[in-house]
């Protein structure tokens, strides 16, 4: 994609034009709609995004320039998200901000006379669109987030502390994001009821680590997954920053949870079916069922025990994977030399 050197700012609001222009790099030459004596199009969209597209598309086609336009406004929950896309109209034809705010206060008082003494949830929304009359320009960063709002994607949040988790979940819920997963979640067990209530899953950090704080029990990292499981939270285990070489230890992390009193079948789910559900791939992976991918391993001894686990076979999508490595070759060579047994 070529760099943008000329840009039309799609608004007849002089104040808004200046605000947007000041945010742009000096290497982009900006143009205003007044240079082309253009009136604003009819904004008949049902959302901020739709109105933003209407304006950018209209001005771009009229001028043959790439156009940046926005649509923004205030949403107040107690007023059924009004004024919303009609925010500017609440200020009258002249767009009087004071008049608009007074109307907001008036409507709030109609709804609840004591609103000033209560917490009123509200938000300012701004939808930006860049449009080229020859080819529409898509902001990949924005597009990649669309799935969060239609719930086709999951929001993964890296956070460990209790307050941080609560703030992150509440912030996400304000935008109607329903599929939320906490990654890390060191203090998640302290707010397990909150997580269950909000249907939040946790990919907890690996169990083979020391406590983060001096006043914690020595086994806190071992037992925290158990606390979450007993509370009804959907839990999986992840390898943290050491993902490249610690993946091989995932079964033993689950084994550590089992050692704290969790049934081994449930502990196994932390690295199989639970993680598949969290990643939303459980239709094809996570359990051994007809129609699912035959991705599994076979072990002599206890698969979750570091001492007795010994892999004999591994399969990915039904294809047998060779377990031969430089280490196994050395083991065979020297076990034969020194007559060692398995």
Query: What is the pLDDT at residue 138?
Result: 58
- In the set 71, 112, 215, 305, the catalytic residue is 71
pLDDT band at 161 (very low <50, low <70, confident <90, very high): very high
Mean pLDDT, rounded, for 309-329: 89
Query: Where are the chain's structural domains?
Result: 6-143, 148-288, 294-342
- What span, in angstroms and rounded, lies between the C-alpha atoms of 329 and 327? 5
- What span, in angstroms and rounded, lies between the C-alpha atoms of 315 and 54? 52
The residues facing 280 across adjacent strands are none
pLDDT digits (tens, 9 = 90+) for 165-210: 999 999 999 988 999 999 999 999 999 999 999 999 999 988 888 8
Q: Based on the residue annotation, tell me whether 80 is a catalytic residue of this protein.
A: no
pLDDT digits (tens, 9 = 90+) for 202-253: 999 888 888 888 888 888 888 999 999 999 999 999 887 655 667 888 889 9
- What span, in angstroms and rounded, lies between the C-alpha atoms of 83 and 314? 59
- What span, in angstroms and rounded, lies between the C-alpha atoms of 110 and 102? 12
What CATH number belongs to 148-288? 3.20.20.140
- What span, in angstroms and rounded, lies between the C-alpha atoms of 81 and 152? 24
pLDDT digits (tens, 9 = 90+) for 37-52: 999 999 999 999 999 9
Count of alpha carbons within 13 Å of 320, Cβ hemisphere only?
7
Mean pLDDT, rounded, for 2-21: 87
- What span, in angstroms and rounded, lies between the C-alpha atoms of 136 and 223? 53
Between 143 and 126, the more confident residue is 126
Query: What is the pLDDT at residue 1?
Result: 47
Query: What is the pLDDT at residue 23?
Result: 86
Q: Taking CA 75 as the corner, what is the angle to CA 73 and CA 79, rounded to the nearest 5 degrees? A: 135
**Per CATH, the architecture of 6-143 is what?**
Alpha-Beta Complex (3.90)
- What span, in angstroms and rounded, lies between the C-alpha atoms of 279 and 86? 39
Pair 258, 264: CB distance under 8 Å: yes
């Amino acid at each position: 994609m070529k760099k943008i050197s000329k840009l039309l700012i799609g608004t007849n609001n002089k104040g808004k034009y200046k605000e947007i222009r000041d945010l742009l790099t000096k290497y982009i030459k900006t143009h205003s709609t007044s240079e082309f004596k253009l009136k604003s199009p009819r904004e008949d969209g049902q959302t901020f995004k739709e109105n933003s597209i209407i304006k950018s598309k209209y001005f771009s086609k009229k001028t043959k320039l790439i156009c940046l336009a926005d649509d923004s406004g205030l949403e107040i929950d107690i007023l059924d998200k009004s004024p919303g896309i009609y925010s500017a109209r609440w200020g009258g034809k002249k767009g009087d901000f004071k008049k608009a705010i007074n109307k907001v206060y008036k409507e709030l008082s109609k709804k609840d006379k004591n609103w000033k003494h209560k917490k009123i949830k509200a938000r300012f929304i701004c939808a930006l669109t860049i449009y080229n009359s020859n080819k529409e320009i898509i902001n990949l960063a924005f597009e990649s987030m669309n799935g969060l709002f239609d719930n086709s994607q999951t929001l993964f949040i890296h956070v460990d502390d209790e307050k941080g988790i609560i703030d992150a979940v509440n912030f996400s819920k304000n935008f109607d994001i329903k599929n939320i997963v906490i990654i890390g979640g060191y203090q998640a067990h302290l707010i397990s009821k909150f997580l269950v209530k909000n249907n939040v899953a946790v990919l907890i950090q690996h169990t083979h680590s020391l406590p983060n704080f001096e006043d914690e029990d020595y086994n806190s990292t071992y037992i925290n997954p158990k606390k979450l499981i007993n509370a009804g939270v959907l839990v999986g285990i992840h390898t943290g920053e050491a993902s490249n070489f610690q993946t091989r230890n995932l079964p033993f992390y689950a084994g550590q949870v089992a050692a704290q009193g969790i049934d081994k079948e449930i502990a196994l789910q932390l690295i199989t079916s639970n993680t598949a559900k969290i990643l939303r791939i459980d239709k094809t992976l996570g359990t051994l069922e007809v129609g699912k991918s035959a991705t599994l391993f076979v072990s002599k001894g206890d698969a979750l025990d570091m001492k007795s686990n010994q892999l004999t076979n591994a399969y990915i999508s039904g294809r047998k994977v060779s377990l031969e490595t430089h280490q196994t070759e050395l083991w065979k060579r020297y076990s034969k030399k020194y007559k060692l047994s398995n």
